[in-house]
Chains A and B, each alone.
Chain A
Amino acid sequence: MNTGQDGRPIRRVLIANRGEIARRVIRTCQRLGIQTVAVYSSADAQTPHVQEADLAIEIGPPPAAESYLDTERVLAAAVDSGADAIHPGYGFLSENPEFARRTEARGLTWIGPSADTMLLVADKGQARIEMDRVGVPVSRGCVVQADPDPELIAEEVGLPLIVKACAGGGGIGMQVVTELGSIAEAVDRVRTFGERFFGNPGVLVERYLPSAKHIEVQVLGYHDGTVAILGERECSVQRRYQKVIEEAPSPRLDAGVRKMLYESAQRGAEAIGYQGAGTFEFLVSGRDVAFLEVNARIQVEHPVTELTTGIDIVEQQLHVASRGSVGRRLNVSAEVFPHALELRLYAEDPNTFFPSPGVLERFRVPNWEGVRLEAAYSEGNVVSQYYDPLLAKICVSGASREEAIQTALEVIDATEVKGLKTNLPFLRQVLMHESFVAGNYDVGIVSQMKNST
């Protein structure tokens, strides 16, 4: 282990999260000889992440606001357990600059980008202006002030357009507008929504591209200011603006466009002094590239990047946060595959996508070669309505895209889930869908599937 002079050794990490991502972080910590502390709400007492950590601390009742989102309880658990660092996972407190500041203020290491970076990218309007300034391609659009002139917006941006809450995320607080007469009302509604739910009335209007691909680039910013690019992920299979299947690399991506995406992410990350793991999201339509947002955290779909690069992204996060004390920079620690898919197994109706909490009476996913399972629950667990519907991520790799898809279909057929509804049949439909098989699908794929049945 390299403990440089500037290093901040990490010996015990508290994971301020639950489910599969908490287990994922525990796994890398164990490999690196770092102790782990889990936190959990009373709803999660029986879930695997609690059992797998070296130490587990109950921090409150089921509602996230009183447990996983309660910064004081999480910080108290970290201090009481003797942790020297906090890994926030994704969601919950992961992009909360105030929480990062308070973590550092208590003398603990924050495993993630700095609070200043998080503040900058949390506002989509501000991030857009900054990226535009350093030459990252953005779509036609603008931040909208109070009492906007709809005609001016329509002229500047064009129709259709999408109205977004500057502080929104996860597909919440967005509205597509197709006609001039609806612009003012949509801006008003999104502004009210943003103010009420995110405490930020900022509104951004951008040209809406109905048939674009959602492609994102994984960056790793190091403590010496350099930025590494770990390739792209294709994330166009979405329902309610949330991803369902991701893959790496993006099939049929033009080499010139790929180069432009990588250079844009690199330039953007370097310009803002990005440190740690992050994702630059883009929309790609033909040869047009438009920056969407930066996600200052590890992402749900990071495994497809790990499978195609052999790099453990959690190890890299620990390496950067510890200023080189933990792990090795860009260490290729696992086998590298030409192609990888991630299927998000959700507890939901496969047709309506309506949530389906319940008891996971039976839960078996085949443990085959080329299959990596990231499960949030184990058999017998209650899957409650308090948290997101992600049961597990089924990650499949192969020597080719065709092979990975074939393996994924076989895994789906051999997977058994009883006690609640899942989207397994839907995942199968996507993998069999003509445009998915051809690799030329875009964000319209799910609505096309729904319209043709």
Chain B
Amino acid sequence: MNVVSPVMANVWKVLVLEAQSVDAGEPLMVLESMKMEIPIEASAAGQVRLFVIEGDVVDEGAMLAIIETT
């Protein structure tokens, strides 16, 4: 399951570790755009593969993470 950025933003905080198991709805990271915090949650339960690190700048639609559902 792909997790993409809803807006051009900075990756402010990453709240999970690479390969961590998460539940659906669990917060993965917080983006920041135009002084607004945008929480990003896991769309499904599974293992996280991260595509960004804190401080990255991402475009709208950019891949943030993949949740590998088993």
Binding site for B on A (CB under 8 A): 63, 240, 347-348, 354-358, 384-389
What is the interface of chain A mostly: helix, strand, loop, or mixed? loop
Q: List 21 A-B contacts (CB under 8 A).
A: A63-B10, A240-B36, A347-B34, A348-B34, A354-B7, A354-B38, A355-B9, A357-B7, A357-B8, A357-B33, A357-B34, A358-B8, A385-B9, A385-B32, A385-B33, A385-B34, A387-B34, A387-B35, A388-B34, A388-B35, A389-B34
What is the interface of chain B mostly: helix, strand, loop, or mixed? strand
Closest-CB distance, B9 to chain A (whole angstroms): 5
B25 within 8 A of A: no
Residue of A nearest to B6 (CB): A354
Q: Collect the chain B residues with CB atoms within 8 Å of residue A240's CB.
A: 36
Q: Collect the chain A residues with CB atoms within 8 Å of residue B10's CB.
A: 63, 385-386
Known contacts A63-B10, A385-B8, A385-B32, then 7 further A-B pairs from the complex at CB < 8 Å, ordered by chain A residue: A240-B36, A347-B34, A354-B36, A355-B34, A357-B33, A385-B9, A386-B10
Q: Collect the chain B residues with CB atoms within 8 Å of residue A389's CB.
A: 34-36
What's the tally of chain B residues with a CB closer than 8 Å to chain A?
Answer: 12
Q: How far is B38's CA from A358's CA once the two chains are assembled, in angstroms?
A: 17
Q: Collect the chain A residues with CB atoms within 8 Å of residue B7's CB.
A: 354-357, 385
Q: Collect the chain B residues with CB atoms within 8 Å of residue A63's CB.
A: 10
Interface residues of B in 2-60 (CB under 8 A from A): 6-10, 32-36, 38, 57
User: Can you list the 10 inter-chain pairs with the closest CB atoms, starting with the nearest?
Assistant: A355-B34, A389-B34, A385-B33, A355-B33, A357-B8, A388-B35, A385-B8, A355-B36, A385-B9, A385-B34
Closest-CB distance, B5 to chain A (whole angstroms): 10
Chain B CB within 10 Å, residue with most, of A354, A355, A356: A355
Closest-CB distance, B36 to chain A (whole angstroms): 5
Q: Collect the chain B residues with CB atoms within 8 Å of residue A354's CB.
A: 6-7, 36, 38
Chain B CB within 10 Å, residue with most, of A63, A384, A386: A386
Residue of A nearest to B32 (CB): A385
Q: How far is B6's CA from A220's CA once the two chains are assembled, in angstroms?
A: 43
Residue of B nearest to A91 (CB): B35
Q: Collect the chain A residues with CB atoms within 8 Å of residue B57's CB.
A: 385
Q: Collect the chain A residues with CB atoms within 8 Å of residue B9's CB.
A: 355, 385
Q: Collect the chain B residues with CB atoms within 8 Å of residue A356's CB.
A: 7
Residue of B nearest to A353 (CB): B36
Q: Collect the chain A residues with CB atoms within 8 Å of residue B8's CB.
A: 357-358, 384-385
